[in-house]
Every structure is written in C-alpha cells, then in structure tokens.
Amino acid sequence: MTYSLQLGGSKELAQNAAAQYRTALAVYLAIYAIAGLLAIVLPSLVGHALALAPPYGGIRPVGGLMLLYAAFQLPVFQHAMRSRVPALIATAGRFLLALLWLLAGGYFVWIALFEIVFAVLLAWLIYKYMAAELMSRP
C-alpha cells in the first residue's frame, strides 16, 4: 500500500490543502478589506488612483460592498468543508466580479487582473482541498 492511500497520509494531505486554501483566502480577504476601508475612509485617494472624475460619491458604497463581500466569506475561511455551497458560490462570483471589473475599463483592468488571478488560484485550491478531504474519508 502506498503512502497516499493510507488514512493518516490522506488526512495530512487534506490538512495541508486546507492550510494552503486558507492562506490564499486570507491574503485575498485582507486585500479586499483594506481596499474597502480605504474606499470608505479616503474616497478621494481611491478616486485619484483610479483616475475617476471628482465627485467621488459612489466610491464609499462600493467600499462598503467590498467589506460586505469579504465579511460574507469569513465562514468559508473558518471551515470551507462545512460551508461548501458558499465556497463554490464565492468561487464562481470571483470570475463574475473579474468580468465586471474588466467591463468597467480604464484602471479597473488591473483590478480585474488581480481578481482573475485569485479566482483561478482559489478555484484550484478549493478543488484540491475538497478532493483531498473526500479521499481522506474511509
């Protein structure tokens, strides 16, 4: 029997996959939370960085939505296997969000690039984690 087929080794692989997914998701959520806070507290700074026209009234609600988006993913961060449906919805939502940022154009293309990179990375990691968790059960 090989190491990967033993129950202990499979559980260890599942724990490693969970740690990798949690680390990548933590980085993603931290960036989103910081960007959301910046948009709420300093909308003019965000507006200048994105080369937007001076009435920056719409930036604060977008920052609030970014914080809300990050907050709704906290149960997935805590335990993705218990929150499988929200994890898969969030994974699909990242691809949709990347498309929306891309359609906005301008400097939002850089945000879309960030979003698509994390969407692909987190989709691959959640797949790897769920497969390893499934294989660790007898």
pLDDT of 120 = 96
Is residue 1 pLDDT above 60, yes or no? no
pLDDT, average across residues 106-132:
92
Alpha helical stretches, state H, the chain: 7-41, 43-49, 59-72, 74-78, 84-104, 108-135
User: How many CA atoms lie within 13 Å of 19's alpha carbon, on the beta-carbon side?
Assistant: 6
pLDDT of 3 = 52
pLDDT of 29 = 94
Helix (H, G, I), strand (E, B) or coil at 75: helix
pLDDT of 57 = 81
pLDDT of 124 = 96
pLDDT of 34 = 94
pLDDT of 2 = 54
Give the chain's mean pLDDT. 87
Q: Among candidates 35, 98, 25, which has minimal Cα distance to 66?
A: 35
Between 131 and 11, the higher pLDDT residue: 131
pTM: 0.83
Confidence of residue 84 (pLDDT cuts 50, 70, 90): confident
Alpha-carbon distance of 9 to 104, in angstroms, equals: 46
pLDDT of 8 = 64
| DSSP state for residue 70 in the 8-state scheme | H
> Residue type at 3?
Y
Contact yes or no for 133/14 (Cβ under 8 A): yes
